[in-house]
Amino acid sequence: MPNNPFFPAGPVPPEYFIGRKSELRFAFDLITKNLHGAFYGSPGMGKSSLLYLLTYSEIWQEQGQDYSKSLIVYLNCTNINPFTPYAFWQEVLILLKEEVEDNDELKAVIDEVLEGDTIEKTDIRQILRKIGKQDKDKFLLLLIDDYDSALKTNTEYTEIEMLTFLSEFRNLAVDPKLGRHLRTIVTTFRRLNELGPTLPLSGSPWYNHYIFQPIKPFSKAEVLEEFFTSTSPRFIRIKQSLQEGILKITDGHPQLLQNAGYLLYERLQDGEIPDLETFIKDFQGRTEQIFDNIWQLSTDEEQILLILIALSRLEGNLGKKSFALRGIDNIFSQKERELIDLEERGIIKKTQEDWKTVYEFTSSMMEWWVLREIENSDETELKKREKVFLRLMSREQVEGVTQVFKQVWKYRKAVESFVNIISRFLGNPT
């Protein structure tokens, strides 16, 4: 068998990149029109792979764009630790210097800035001015991954410093002359307007020049075409039941699909054909950190909503004990904006059952993760969450949910096992 064509971690190389045609068109439309964009989505949605793709001249050629007019700098903000404006611009200029290796005049300007003790907005303006002077159509394209790191304070980066950095960055982008020589595309876990410093009472928000674009899971049609069509280089011949199981537990999540493909390819190379239950157990061990990341990056309120969704799906299935979550539909209707956010990030989806809106997890793995969080919590943690519960529901409802938690703790063995949860999700109760 040839080399494993799946990439369970890190950006996917361009030759193995799949889908995202509309997102790619969106990115190049921004670049062409001298605009700035912000992609957002859950961990593993392929945001880094998309930015990485934009650094390749072949992709520009396919999109009918002139790669030679761009000076591309890709950087991941998590590599700047601790994040500070100086460290950010220093990294940008070091990478830009590598990009303009044959341009001695521009390199000299960059070196002059790097030799200073600080890097100010005026220094970046000087570099943009030099780029425009050399070629009026030339521009610096900043591809900034995990921009969330720039939107959190640390011991060396105060909220005031953050607001100054972001405001000055915006000023560079919207400058009527020099802004023509700068494009920016960033990626984050959630929308920029939900991140960063408290906004001042006057002036435009620092994120006002960005156009937001969510990165969502692949559609079922895309998954079938790219992973389960015999002409695809990623095609693996497996039983229909296993294929259907993989579709259910991944539900179009790019990194989960890459992990599933990698694991299957590995097993087949070893001469093994796994059954669904064995595959699920192996798959869970390899992907647990993805769900941990999603959970940790969710707000307290979002975590409560996920808990309520999990409990509502567990309702009536707690061994021989029955319980009902009263008023949960009203809570969901009041928190529609937050639920839409979770849906946009590919964590949950909503369906209609008997004229009623029902929320469920896109991946049964996430459902298992949330149930495990409930099982592993204790009185102290439940007490901490009570304030968040009270923002969503009445005290009477909070007491009802608290009792459900205690039932889950008391009848831990009655709570469905991981494999049983998956089996129920697949429609094959054990």
Is the pLDDT at 428 greater than 70, yes or no?
A: no
Q: What percent of the chain has pLDDT over 70?
A: 91
H helix or E strand, kind and range, residue 73 = strand 70-76
Cβ-Cβ contacts under 8 Å for 23 (sequence gap 6 or more): 39, 50, 213, 215
CB of 251 within 8 A of CB of 325? no
The confidence score (pLDDT) of residue 420 equals 60
The confidence score (pLDDT) of residue 325 equals 60
Distance, CA of 47 to CA of 312 (rounded, Å): 32
Average pLDDT (49-76) is 96
* pLDDT-wise least confident of 38-42, 274-278, 359-363: 274-278
Total residues belonging to the chain: 430
Is the pLDDT at 204 greater than 90, yes or no?
A: no
Tell the CATH topology of 20-214.
Rossmann fold (3.40.50)
SS (H, E, C) 135-179: CCCCEEEEEEECHHHHHCCECCECHHHHHHHHHHHHHHHHCCCHH
Give the Cα-Cα-Cα angle 114, 120, 126 (nearest 5 degrees): 75
Distance, CA of 71 to CA of 60 (rounded, Å): 13
What six digits make up the tokens of 192?
């920029």
Q: What percent of the chain has pLDDT over 90?
A: 47
Is the pLDDT at 55 greater than 50, yes or no?
A: yes
Is the pLDDT at 288 greater than 70, yes or no?
A: yes
* pLDDT-wise least confident of 68-72, 191-195, 344-348: 344-348
CB of 213 within 8 A of CB of 39? yes
The confidence score (pLDDT) of residue 426 equals 54
Over residues 215-236, the pLDDT tens digits come to: 999 988 888 888 888 788 787 7
Pairing outcome for strands 356-361 and 348-353: antiparallel
More confidently predicted of 111 and 371: 111
Over residues 63-90, the pLDDT tens digits come to: 999 999 999 999 999 999 999 999 999 9
What six digits make up the tokens of 42?
């859950």
- The rounded mean pLDDT for the chain is 86
CB of 300 within 8 A of CB of 307? no
Question: Which residue is it, tokens 């000055």?
Answer: 168
Is the pLDDT at 366 greater than 70, yes or no?
A: yes
Positive/negative CA dihedral, 239, 262, 421, 301: negative
User: Is the omega angle on the peptide bond into residue 82 within 30 degrees of 0, that is, cis?
Assistant: yes
Is the pLDDT at 429 greater than 50, yes or no?
A: no
Is the pLDDT at 268 greater than 70, yes or no?
A: yes
What six digits make up the tokens of 112?
């002059």
Phi, psi of 255 (to 5 degrees): -70, -35
User: Is the omega angle on the peptide bond into residue 14 within 30 degrees of 0, that is, cis?
Assistant: no
**2-16, 169-183, 400-414, range with greatest mean pLDDT:** 169-183
More confidently predicted of 184 and 399: 184
Residue 262 identity: Y
Instruction: Please choose, from the candidates 284, 292, 216, the residue with its C-alpha nearest in 3D space to the C-alpha of residue 254.
Output: 216
Question: Strand, coil or helix: what is 37?
Answer: strand
Paired strand residues for 34: none
Pairing outcome for strands 210-214 and 348-353: unpaired
Question: Which residue is it, tokens 């990294």?
Answer: 91
Q: Cα–Cα distances in Å, from 370 out to 146, 310, 345, 408? A: 25, 7, 17, 12
Over residues 161-184, the pLDDT tens digits come to: 999 999 999 999 999 999 999 999
Residue 22 exposed, middle or buried by CB count within 10 Å (0-12, 13-18, 19+): exposed
Where are the chain's structural domains? 20-214, 220-295, 298-426
Distance, CA of 166 to CA of 151 (rounded, Å): 9
C-alpha of 384 from chain center: 27
Pairing outcome for strands 210-214 and 356-361: unpaired
Residue 408 identity: V
